Amino acid sequence: MSSSTFIDYLSSPSGSLCGSINIPGDKSISHRAVIMGSIAIGITQIKGLLKSADIVSTVNVFRDMGVCIEESSDEMIIHGVGLHGLKEPANALDFGNSGTSVRILGGLLSTQKFDATLIGDDSLSQRPMRRIIDPLIEMGATLNCSTQHTLPIHIKGSNSLNGIAYHLPVASAQLKSCLLLAGLYAKGKTRIIEDSVTRDHTERMLIEFGANIDVKKEYIEIQSGELSARKIQIPGDISSAAFFLVAASICPGSNLVLKNVGINPTRDAVIEILRRMGANIEVKMINDTGIESIADIHVQYSSLVGIKIPEELVPIAIDELPVIMIAAAFAKGDTELVNATELRVKESDRIEAIAVGLKSLGIQVITRDDGMMVTGGKLNGGEVHSYGDHRIAMAFAIAASNAGETIKILDCVNVNTSFPDFIEISSSIGLNIRTQERNG
C-alpha cells in the first residue's frame, strides 16, 4: 500500500448483536509491562499483550536501546537490562503515534547518561509536551522541545536527578507515570499529588516489579531501587470493550458477553456512566487477586436516557468519551459533558471531531471549551472524518449500527494503533463494517 493510499470504513446498519467475544489486551497495561520488563533484572514473560502499532513503537524503542525482546504467537519474552543497562540509540527514537509511550518514557530517558531525541508521526508531533518538560527540568533534567512545546524532544544525558514533590496541574496518568519513572532513578523521594483520580496502572505495575513505592490516598511516593522480572498476564482493554458496550446498548435485541476484561477501578467509569444512562450491564468478576481485576461483562439492549455526566468520572473515562457521546446521540433527551478539556489535545480535537460528525448526521450538538451537549435523535447516513484518530473512527463505525443509512468514515488506518482486530471482532457479533481503499 502506498503512502498516499487511505483506508476508509463503510459502516452500515445492523440487526441485533449477539455472541461472546474476547477483548484484545489492554493498551495502557501492555505499554507499562514492556517498559518495566525492559528495565527490570531478569526475564519477564508477558501473555495477552496487545500487538498494536502503538505497542510495536514501544517495543522498537527498547530494542533500539539494546533490549532483547522475543515474540511468539501468544507470548513476549523480555530480557531485562536493569535500571542502568540501556544503551545509547544510534538514531532518534521514533514513537510513531504513541502519546502514552513518548510521555512516559520522557521521564525514563531523562535519567540516562546518554543523549536521546524523541520523535513521532505528524499527529503525535502536534500534541503538547510541555506538561512533562517543566517538572523534569525541575528535577534537574536537561531537555527541550520545539517552540510550540511539541516534538521533537531533545534530552541531554544526565548523571542524576533529584526527587521533588509535584502537584499535577492536570489530570494525566501519562504525566504521573513520567514522573514516577524519573523518580525511580532520582536521589531522594519523589512525591506526586493529584486532585483527580487517574488510571493507576503504573503504580500497580511498579509494585508488582518490586519498586520502592508507597501509594496513599493523598499522594504517591517513590524512591530509587532495582526492579525484578515477573510473569504478567494482560487483561482485555476496557477502552476497546466500550465500543461493544455501546453497540449492544443501542441495537434492539442485542445480547453480548465480553470476556476477560480489565475493570480497574480507575478505568471502569464507562460502565457507571452507561448504567446511569439506563444501559443493562452486568459484571461477573473472574479474577480479583492479580495486578488487575478481570471480569466478564454481559450487556443487553436497553433504551437510554440523557444525563449530565458526573465531573468526577470524566478523567477516568477520558478515552471512552467519544463512544459515550455516540450513546448520547441515541438517548432520549440531553447528555451534558463538562470538565473534559483534555479531549481537545488527544490524537485529534475530539470535542470538535465528535460534534462535527454528529451534526453532519443530523444530531443537535452544542460545544463549549470543556465539553458539549448532545440531544438524542435519529442518526442519518452520511460521511464523517476521523481526523486520523482511532477512537473517533471506531466511535462512528459503532454509530452506524443503528443509523438510518451507511456512514462512511474517512481515514481509519490509525485504528491499528489500539485495535487492529476491530473489523474482524465486530463482524463476528453482527456489525456490518468493511474497509475501502482510497487514493489521496
The catalytic residue positions are 319
Residue 236 phi, psi dihedral angles, 5° rounding? -65, 150
Where do we find the cell 470493550? Answer: 241
Largest CA distance in the chain: 62
Q: Which residues contact 115 (CB under 8 A, 6 or more apart)?
A: 88, 154, 155, 156, 157
- The span from the CA of 292 to the CA of 185, in Å, is 25
**Cα separation of 310 and 273, whole Å?**
8
Note whether 22 and 426 are within 8 A (CB). no
Distances (CA, A) of 17 to 9, 272, 273, 398: 19, 22, 21, 12
Contact 99, 105 (CB under 8 A): no
Handedness of CA 163, 164, 165, 169 (dihedral sign): negative
In contact, 125 and 345? CB cutoff 8 Å = no
